[in-house]
Amino acid sequence: MTARITRLTARQLQVVALGWQGLTHEQIGRRLGIATDTSNKHAWQAYERMGLGLGVCGDSRTILAVRLWRECAARSGGTGASGPG
């Protein structure tokens, strides 16, 4: 799994990071100057690339955040406490 984060585009990482901070797709869109639907599309593409897929049960943002957290921890050799960049 440690290579999965590298599959994300820069925009997908931005959208995921803002979502991790609790912003809605509407808020993310305003902040990045993109449409709400585009924000949602980037998020779902990130979920797909991280291996979550559209049929995942539960809160996809939480699941993605945990996977990114673990990956950052593995890369840094620490706990991942600082989150994904």
pTM greater than the 0.75 cutoff: no
Q: Range of 51's domain?
A: 4-76
Q: Is residue 83 part of a domain?
A: no
In contact, 18 and 49? CB cutoff 8 Å? no
State the Cα–Cα distance between residues 10 and 16, nearest whole angstrom.
10
> Helix or strand or coil: residue 35?
coil
| CATH number of the domain where residue 66 is located | 1.10.10.10
Q: How far apart are the first and last CA of the chain?
A: 18
State the Cα–Cα distance between residues 76 and 59, nearest whole angstrom.
26
Counted domains in the chain:
1
State the Cα–Cα distance between residues 17 and 43, nearest whole angstrom.
10
Q: Is residue 85 part of a domain?
A: no
Q: Is residue 17 part of a domain?
A: yes
- What is the per-residue pLDDT across 23-58, written as a single tens digit (0 to 9) for each? 888 999 999 999 999 998 998 888 888 776 655 445
Q: Is residue 30 part of a domain?
A: yes
